[in-house]
Amino acid sequence: MNKKHSISTLAVAGVQKLVPYVPGKPIEELERELGLSDIVKLASNENPLGTNPRVAQAIQKTLPELTRYPDGNGFKLKVALAEKLSVDSAQITLGNGSNEILELVARTFLTPDLDVVFSQHAFAVYPIVTQAVGATARIVPAKDYGHDLSAMSEQINDRTRLVFIANPNNPTGTLLQPDELEAFIKALPSTVLCVLDEAYHEYVAPDRRARSIDWLRAYPNLIITRTFSKAYGLAGLRVGYSLSSLEIADLLNRVRQPFNNNMLALAAAETALSDRDYLHRTVAANAAGMQQLTVAFRTLGLEWIPSAGNFVSVDLGRPALPIYEALLRKGVIVRPVANYEMPNHLRVSIGTERENQVFITALSQVLNAI
Ligand SMILES: *Cc1c(COP(=O)(O)O)cnc(C)c1O
């Protein structure tokens, strides 16, 4: 047995079979590969408005402090979040992106003899954090691309410790009815935790939103996760958080690294949270861009999954990978979702009006050429 082989067999079983997360292709990588400039990236559900100038200012102001450790408790950001969301700041756990929260939950609550339930086409990080700790994923077939909550309920048994629900879901954009969702959470055994991943919450029309924070009082097994990466435009800084019962927050806090959020990120998030105007412009630009893209899809005779997020998955009616690659050659990066069992779809993030138009033009040229 060669040494390399023997080392990999030492990894826990889940990790040996783990397939790494594939991020959207970075702009610089495509520039290097094709020698193109002026690339349009609509692949990672990023905020297209660019860095918020007020955030840039807050970061500038913090720069002289970089020799210090950041506040390991994120005191100021938690106070600001607590006030805005009407929760106790001790219910908040800050993460290096909400991704880290998902991982903290897995490390805190899962063992190899436990199961995790989530939907087909759900966010790709759920299987990764589940397998990494050796737990078993029970993946429930989707219904019309969305979570089938009654089928998910049926998968819950004595081995189940955790359910992941993304609402809206990525990459489908599907949104659950608030009352159905609450009934599902209410019916969970008290030994099963529910992570309700609301990474796209701010994009959901107010009248369609679940009042999930109100549910925390009634359901001590509920963990809501949110992020500054999407509507607040801070994907590059990595700040997310969870809202939960005090008991859960205390447990997650024991597992997390002492300084998991850096100083610049904390200052940026606090400023971003207070900037209503940037958020409003983000949500308005998203609604307009969603309209722009879906009108174009209709014109091109393409179907799409109605989305409550800042992205939309379009059905090309044929394998999407060659079209993805042809778009790359035109300098447009979108996201193939075959790894989500959606081989005929491309997920397109909503960009600026100009970026959307560049994508639409490229897509119609590519489709015409076939
Ligand atoms: C983008 C995304 C996240 C969050 O990512 P972070 O940048 O780590 O906060 C979480 N869940 C879903 C479903 C997402 O699409």
pLDDT tens-digit readout, 71-83: 999 999 999 999 9
| Alpha carbon nearest to ligand 1 atom 6, residue | 97
Mutational test site, ligand 1, from 47, 98, 105, 228, max ligand atoms within 8 Å of CB: 98
Spatial distance between the Cα atoms of 312 and 42, rounded to a whole number of angstroms: 10
pLDDT score, position 24: 87
| Alpha carbon nearest to ligand 1 atom 12, residue | 199
Strand runs labelled E in the chain: 40-41, 92-95, 115-119, 136-140, 160-166, 193-197, 222-227, 240-244, 303-304, 311-315, 332-333, 335-336, 345-349
List where CATH 3.40.640.10 sits in the chain: 53-274
Q: Which residues line ligand 1 (CB under 6 A)?
A: 45, 97-99, 123, 166, 170, 197, 199, 227, 229-230, 235, 240
Do residues 260 and 97 make contact, with C-beta atoms less than 8 angstroms apart?
no
Atom nearest to 238 CA in ligand 1: 7
| Alpha carbon nearest to ligand 1 atom 1, residue | 199
Whether domain 9-50+277-369 has CATH 3.90.1150.10: the reply is yes
Quote the pTM value. Answer: 0.96
Do residues 147 and 153 make contact, with C-beta atoms less than 8 angstroms apart?
no
Do residues 98 and 226 make contact, with C-beta atoms less than 8 angstroms apart?
yes
Q: Per CATH, the architecture of 53-274 is what?
A: 3-Layer(aba) Sandwich (3.40)
**Tokens 């390991």, residue?**
72
Spatial distance between the Cα atoms of 272 and 1, rounded to a whole number of angstroms: 54
Spatial distance between the Cα atoms of 241 and 297, rounded to a whole number of angstroms: 35
pLDDT score, position 4: 59
Which residues does the chain have with pLDDT short of 50?
none
3-state SS, residue 336 = strand
Tell me how far the alpha carbon of residue 369 lies from the centroid of ligand 1, in angstroms.
35
Tokens of 36: 């193109």
**Tokens 């949104």, residue?**
175
List where CATH 3.90.1150.10 sits in the chain: 9-50+277-369
Mind listing the pLDDT tens digit for each residue in 50-65? 999 999 999 999 999 9
Mutational test site, ligand 1, from 44, 45, 100, 123, max ligand atoms within 8 Å of CB: 123
